Amino acid sequence: MDKFVTLTGVAAPLDMINVDTDQIIPKQFLTTIERTGLGKGLFFDLRHDADGNETPDFVLNKPAYQDAKLLIAGENFGCGSSREHAPWALLDFGIRCVIAPSFADIFFNNCFKNGILPITLPAAQVDDLMSQAAAGANATFTVDLEAQTIATPDGGSVAFEVDPFRKHCLLNGLDDIGLTLQKGAAIDRFEDQQKLSQPWLHR
C-alpha cells in the first residue's frame, strides 16, 4: 500500500447525500478481484446516460475535475453494500482522500485498508470546502496527515481528527498484510519451534 503523508490536488465537489456503494461502483464491475482498472467504472451510472455517453454536467466529467485527488461529498457517503471495490475504484481513479460529514462504517474502514484517507468534518465546514472546490482547477487543497490539517484554497487551515493507529498505518503504507509482515521474525521463530515439537504438521 502506498504511503499517505501529504496530498495536494484539486477537490471535486459532489453535493449529494447518501451516495451508496452501488453508485460508487455499480454491480457489473464486481466480476474482478483485481484492484486496477476500476476507475473507469467509478460513478458509472452518474457519469453516463442511458446510451453510455458521458454526461457533461457530472462533476468528474468536467475538465477541471478529471484529475481530482480529493472528493468532497455529503453525509452518509459509502452507504449500502460492503463491497471493497468502492474504495478500489476511487483509488484507481486517483482519489486518495474523501471529505464528508459522515460515512458508512464499513466503507470508512475499507478506505483505511486501501490507502484512502476519509475525513469527517462538521457539515458547515464541508459546505465551505465544497464552495471553495467549485473554483475547479484554480483551487488546490493540501492534506497533511502528520499535522492533521487541510490547507484550503482561500489560505485557511482546517484541522481534522484521525485514529492514531490508522494514522500510523497510512503514514507507513501498512495494510493488514503489511502489519502481519512486521511480525515476520516472530512468525518464523514460531514455525521453526513448531517443526521441532510437531513435525507431523509439516510433512
Identify the pLDDT of residue 158. Answer: 98
End-to-end CA distance of the chain: 34
* Domain membership flag for residue 182: no
Helices (runs of H) and strands (runs of E) counted in the chain: 8, 8
Q: What tens digit of pLDDT does each residue of 139-171 get?
A: 999 999 999 999 999 999 999 999 999 999 999
Q: How far is CA 29 from CA 35, 54, 69, 130, 143, in A?
A: 11, 17, 22, 29, 30
C-alpha cell of residue 193: 519451534
Q: With respect to residue 51, please indicate whether it lies within any of the assigned structural domains.
A: yes
Backbone angles phi, psi at 111, to 5 degrees: -60, -50
Q: CB burial class (10 A; 0-12, 13-18, 19+) of residue 90?
A: buried
pLDDT digit string, tens, across residues 13-45: 999 999 999 999 999 999 988 888 999 999 999
Using CA atoms, how far apart are residues 43 and 85, in angstroms rounded to an integer?
Answer: 12
Is 200 part of any domain?
no
Widest distance between CA atoms in the chain:
67
Q: Which residues on adjacent β-strands are paired with residue 97? A: 70, 117
121 residue type, one letter: L
Can you give the residue range of the structural domain that contains 111?
Answer: 6-172
Q: Cα–Cα distance between 72 and 121 in angstroms, integer?
A: 11
Q: What is the CATH classification number for the domain harbouring 125?
A: 3.20.19.10
Asked, for residue 185, whether it belongs to a domain, the answer is no
- Specify the number of domains making up the chain: 1
Give residue 197's pLDDT.
85
Concatenated DSSP letters of 43-58? THHHHB-TTS-B-TTS
In a domain, 34, yes or no: yes
Q: pTM to 2 decimals?
A: 0.89
pLDDT of residue 195: 78
* Residues forming beta bridges with residue 6, ordered by sequence position: 144
Strand (E) or helix (H) holding 89: helix 85-93
Lowest mean pLDDT among 104-118, 130-144, 187-201: 187-201
Over the stretch 65-119, which tens digit does the pLDDT of each residue have?
999 999 999 999 999 988 999 999 999 999 999 999 999 999 999 999 999 999 9
Does residue 189 sit within a domain? no
**What residue type is assigned to position 70 of the chain?**
L
Q: CA-CA distances (angstroms) from residue 135 to 51, 54, 60, 70?
A: 30, 22, 14, 14
For residues 123 and 75, is the Cβ–Cβ distance under 8 A?
A: yes
